[in-house]
Structure 1
Amino acid sequence: MGETFVYKEVDGCALKGVLHPSLDTQAPLLIYLHGGGLIWGTRNDMNKKQIHRYNQAGFNVCSVEYRLAPESKLPEIRDDINDLLSWIKTEAPSTLDFDRTRVGLIGSSAGGYLALLAGTFDTKPDAIVSFYGYGQVTGDWYRNPSPHFTSMPTVPEVLAKQLIQPTPLASAPIERRYAIYLYCRQQGEWLDWIAGSDVLDLSQYAPIELADSQYPATLLIHGDKDEDVPYGESVAMKAKLESCGVTNELMTITKGKHNFDANMEDPDAIRAIENTITFLQNQFSMNLN
């Protein structure tokens, strides 16, 4: 299962991660941020075959949790990732064996968004990989009802609200929370539930607005038939990074849908992970395995 650690305690939540170590000493560290629309997810959501392949290629891997919406809002979630990176770069090396100068951040969907946002922090990852993430939180695809999700059975508001917990939480399986996300996408209310009414300037949560020449090298991976997060999100993020002179790549999965890498028997999923490994090995000047 790996070694469990706590990187932060806040609001009665102990925010945990699980480390899957490489056999090499002082190996680079890959941190995985799960998806789930910022509403669901756990530290155990990372694909086990992907963990094994990253370990095999010489990387330590850890998968972490963060506070979830709508109990916690976007400012608190951003703080958790910010604090995670600060902890990883300063305190974690005293108890965990990894090279603090070679830390990669990988995220899927909402986790990809958070990984991209982390590139704008004072304490940054050394490289970023975004699987079907997004560079902003104000797009029409999130602010209007989604044709993909409105084709599904309608979730009543009362059901979605019944799933909200009275206290903050940092871990919840999809089965317990998907109805909240489905309701938000059917109604075009995701941003209202995630950001709340206190966030007036959403540009401070938009990596596509905040990225500059100091942004880390970034690999964007996205299917051009993604039915949840539009492929155009990664295209736009690539254009921003190009304008900043930042090292970046966009890997397009032809006819790829959302979460295409869940099936690690699929050739596109295998190719995406291998491309991720090559990109990170190049950034971290590793011997290729």
Structure 2
Amino acid sequence: MQDTEHMLIYDENTHETDARYKALHVTRSYLMNTYVFKKIGNQEIKADIYFAEQTKDEQKRPAVIFIHGGGLIMGHRKAILPEHIQAFHDGGFHFVSINYRLAPETKLPEILDDIRDAWAWLHDKADSLGINRDRMAILGHSAGAYLTLLSGYQLNPRPAAVVSMAGYCKLTSESFTAPAPYYVREYASVDESEARKTIGQHMISESGPNDSMQRYLGRGLFYLFCRQKGIWLYEVTGHDPDDRAWFAKYEPIQNVSASYPPTMLLHGEPDTDIPFEQSLLMQQELARYGVTHKFLRDPNWGHTFLYMPNDESVDEAFRQIVSFLQQHV
């Protein structure tokens, strides 16, 4: 299933793409097609593929699959800046951005199923899409980076490489099981009834134009409520955080081995949403098992650093990401 769409304008103030903004025709030398890679009832789960320009005698290119963030509660596949897509194209990669079902209506095991199904779909369709199925990497931000780190041992075959931007590897840390001091200190207490009005009973695979993680509106308000009360982990999994045996298979920190894919970690030291220590722990575990990895840290990056337009440190970070993938994919 396929239909052609255009790239949406990116709101540089809120760091979000938004259906309220007018569509831009893509004038660069690549095509973006939207595909439905999975359908559950009436719910279509979609992937956008931004095709890099290929020469006539070129058969297949490697690909980077992007998984958006949003606390597993909100977000959509449009949450990427056009210049970053172009950076991957310039490096020789097709770029794929996927949706997945969102919590709390859908829980973590089923969200992971969507990542597996997107991966299987890409492998199945690779030849017709001009993608080299043996040269596919996964990149994600925040919750998408967590799902990316999960993919390093949950997918079969494993990705050729993974890139985590402001991600996390240990769900059962106090950061996610207790009220978050930053959100308690910096924001007014959210009323539970108001927070729960923003979610529904039916599964969704992308949040809407009135949802904002930066302004804590819509589903973003529910996320803020969960972090203030220390119930985020329960809401996205349906399991008590004390059930450590259940969580073991969903914690990348517990599942690193010598066969884990080459990994790049990026994290801002002052990140107020996902503690920098989460990436530091993952880096230490990768080193312990001798996994090829690179850790890029910055004293000035906030949690949404990748959405800072025209920032040289971010541009350089993406150049290093592309270089790392060119070496290992």
> Does the pair score TM above 0.5?
yes
- For residues 147 and 7 of structure 1, the distance between their equivalents in structure 2, rounded to whole angstroms, comes to 39
What is the correspondence of 1:203-282 to structure 2 with a 5 Å cutoff? 203-282=248-327
1:14 to 29, 44, 57: 44
Q: Paired residue for 1:132?
A: 166
The letter for the 2-side match of 1:88 is L
Comparing 190-199 with 103-112, greater Cα deviation is found at 190-199
What secondary structure, in the 3-state scheme, does the structure 2 residue paired with 1:99 have? strand
What is the correspondence of 1:19-34 to structure 2 with a 5 Å cutoff? 19-24=49-54, 25=58, 26-34=60-68
Would you identify which runs of 4 or more consecutive aligned residues in structure 1 move more than 3 Å? 197-200
What secondary structure, in the 3-state scheme, does the structure 1 residue paired with 2:46 have? strand
2:104 aligned with 1:104, yes or no? Answer: no
The letter for the 1-side match of 2:224 is L
Unaligned runs of 5+ in 2: 1-5, 7-31, 213-217
- For residues 73 and 143 of structure 1, the distance between their equivalents in structure 2, rounded to whole angstroms, comes to 17
Q: Paired residue for 1:191?
A: 233
Normalising by structure 1, we get a TM-score of: 0.94
- For residues 254 and 282 of structure 1, the distance between their equivalents in structure 2, rounded to whole angstroms, comes to 26
Q: CA deviation at 1:70?
A: 0.1
Q: CA deviation at 1:10?
A: 2.3
- For residues 143 and 12 of structure 1, the distance between their equivalents in structure 2, rounded to whole angstroms, comes to 34
User: Is the 1:85–1:125 Cα contact (8 Å) retained in structure 2?
Assistant: no
Comparing 235-244 with 145-154, greater Cα deviation is found at 145-154
Q: CA deviation at 1:198?
A: 8.1
What is the correspondence of 1:59-208 to structure 2 with a 5 Å cutoff? 59-89=93-123, 91-121=124-154, 122-150=156-184, 151-173=186-208, 174-175=211-212, 176-197=218-239, 200=243, 201-208=246-253
Normalising by structure 2, we get a TM-score of: 0.83
Unaligned runs of 5+ in 1: 285-289
Q: CA deviation at 1:256?
A: 1.7
Q: CA deviation at 1:95?
A: 3.0
- 1:20-49 Cα shifts (integer Å, max 9, x gaps): 011124111000000000000111111211
What secondary structure, in the 3-state scheme, does the structure 2 residue paired with 1:193 have? helix
- 1:26-83 Cα shifts (integer Å, max 9, x gaps): 1110000000000001111112111122112211001100000000001101111122
Percent sequence identity over aligned pairs:
34
- Larger radius of gyration between Structure 1 and Structure 2: 2
What secondary structure, in the 3-state scheme, does the structure 2 residue paired with 1:50 have? helix
- 1:260-289 Cα shifts (integer Å, max 9, x gaps): 1211311221111111011001113xxxxx
- For residues 155 and 48 of structure 1, the distance between their equivalents in structure 2, rounded to whole angstroms, comes to 34
